[in-house]
Amino acid sequence: MTLKLTVEPADGLVDEPRRITLTGLAPDQLVAISARTIRGGDASWMSQATFMADENGTVDLTRDAPVGGDYAEVAPMGLIWSQLPDDGKSADMFPDDVMAPLRTVLTAETDEGETTEAELLQRFAASGVERREIRDEGLVGTLFTPAGEGPHPVVTVLYGSGGGINEPRAAMLASRGYQAFALAYFKAPGLSPYITETPLEYLETGLRWAHRELSPKNGFVAVSGQSRGGELSLLLGATYPELVSAVIAYVPGAMVHGAQGAGDPARGGWQGVTWTMGGVPLEHLWNNNKAVHWHPWGGDAPPTRHHSVFFEGLKDRELAARARIPVEKIDGPVLLISGRDDRAWPSSLYSKMVVSTLRRHNHPHPVRHLDFDDAGHAINLPIVPSTQITRIHPVSKVPYTNGGTPSGNARANDGSWEGMLAFLDEVTGTSRAGR
């Protein structure tokens, strides 16, 4: 028999699992399958795993675990989430142009040297999704509009301490029926390269623009952000409850924090002010904290558990009370997403603190908390590499750890995406069939 490698479907959205099968082998024959993807820039990411064929000479990744390689469980898309950059350091896993698909070449090779290939395409933007750069009223962002007639519910999408415009998540939200406004607030054209002293009024302008210009269905404008963007999402919901219909906070902080690794060294660095309102700095956890005598961004120990400094910071209870985000002022549903092995900061604890506060205040809207085992700080889109446990921060250039395991992070990527879509469907009254 001739080797045949099949991907079904070969072309689809990033969040669509595929069935990868190989036929034409001898019973019990070993075969190596590799996956190579060109991701950000010219960076090539690759994984490989070895399988043993069944009695019919077939390998089916929905059924078969590898006998060796870059992952070690039954995982239909394990060859994607276990990928690492060939150069060992490239951080960008998303293409510069999210309207173009990611192309993965799968290659199967037997120990006799027989080979076969197949192609797998992952798209961020479904057919009919439109992309438009927004440069109105000082705003810097990108709008993604779903195919089909509106109006559509709107989600404002915020990145974390790496800054920039989160186009991949916004494109995927539009592909699933939500108008998505990816809004930068620093480290983007025309904006500060640092998070230091970001005015909340800029975000208020973005929210008002979305309400006025996007004609959101039933006036629904949610805010979704990750890490510092998760902190910011909770803060915006508490500060502008009339403008925020729902909050989706990925690995968030429950406190206002200092600028940390995204801070301007000339304006306080790690301990600088992050958010201002009316020109006045918002109190933050690193403002002369009496309990903290070290910090991870200076290379002080323990370097692999940055979240430890946040536990120390909370011991200054008077300051923590002043820096706490008053989430009880949020006037809408709240979804919190966290990893129990988050080593960048304690997002699981922070999320539980938010849930507890909302419960004590008899929050009248749905509150959901998705807390994932073996997952760290980098909870991302589904079916993308989940191997970036240790990284160099894109602003400070200081090494840090996200935590989690590749397998646990992959499960959190899948589960959080499905949970987030289910949450949005629930609170907007959108049916899956109606997307």
Give Cα 271 distance to the centre of its chain: 25
The phi, psi pair for 310, rounded to 5°, reads -75, -35
| pLDDT bucket at 434, cuts 50 / 70 / 90 | very low
Pairing of strands 334-339, 367-372: parallel
**Mean pLDDT of the 291-319 span:** 79
- Find residue 4's DSSP bridge partners: 23
What crossing angle do the helices spanning 200-213 and 228-239 adopt, rounded to 10°? 70
Distance in Å from the first CA to the final CA of the chain: 43
At residue 303, does pLDDT exceed 80?
Answer: no
At residue 358, does pLDDT exceed 70?
Answer: yes
| Predicted TM-score of the model (pTM) | 0.96
Residues assigned a catalytic role: 227, 342, 377
Locate the domains of the chain by residue range. Answer: 4-123, 130-434
Each residue of 153-209: pLDDT tens digit?
999 999 999 999 999 999 999 999 999 999 999 999 999 999 999 999 999 999 999
How many residues does this entry show for the chain?
A: 435
Token output for 29: 């024959």
Pairing of strands 68-69, 44-52: antiparallel
Each residue of 208-243: pLDDT tens digit?
999 999 999 999 999 999 999 999 999 999 999 999
Contact in structure between 413 and 77 (CB atoms under 8 Å) = no
Residue 435: the pLDDT is 44
**Mean pLDDT of the 23-31 span:** 97
Contact in structure between 234 and 282 (CB atoms under 8 Å) = no
Is the domain spanning 4-123 CATH 2.60.40.2240? The answer is yes
Contact in structure between 233 and 223 (CB atoms under 8 Å) = yes
Fold designation for 130-434: Rossmann fold (3.40.50)
- Find residue 334's DSSP bridge partners: 247, 367
E strand residue ranges, 356-402: 367-372, 390-392, 399-401
- Find residue 133's DSSP bridge partners: 142
d(CA 134, CA 174): 16
Residue 307: the pLDDT is 80
Residue 352: the pLDDT is 98
d(CA 305, CA 310): 10
Q: Please give the share of the chain, as a percent, with pLDDT higher than 70.
A: 96
| pLDDT bucket at 427, cuts 50 / 70 / 90 | very high
Each residue of 182-194: pLDDT tens digit?
999 999 999 999 9
320: Cβ contacts below 8 Å, ≥ 6 apart: 255, 285, 313, 314
Residue appearing with tokens 């289910």 = 422
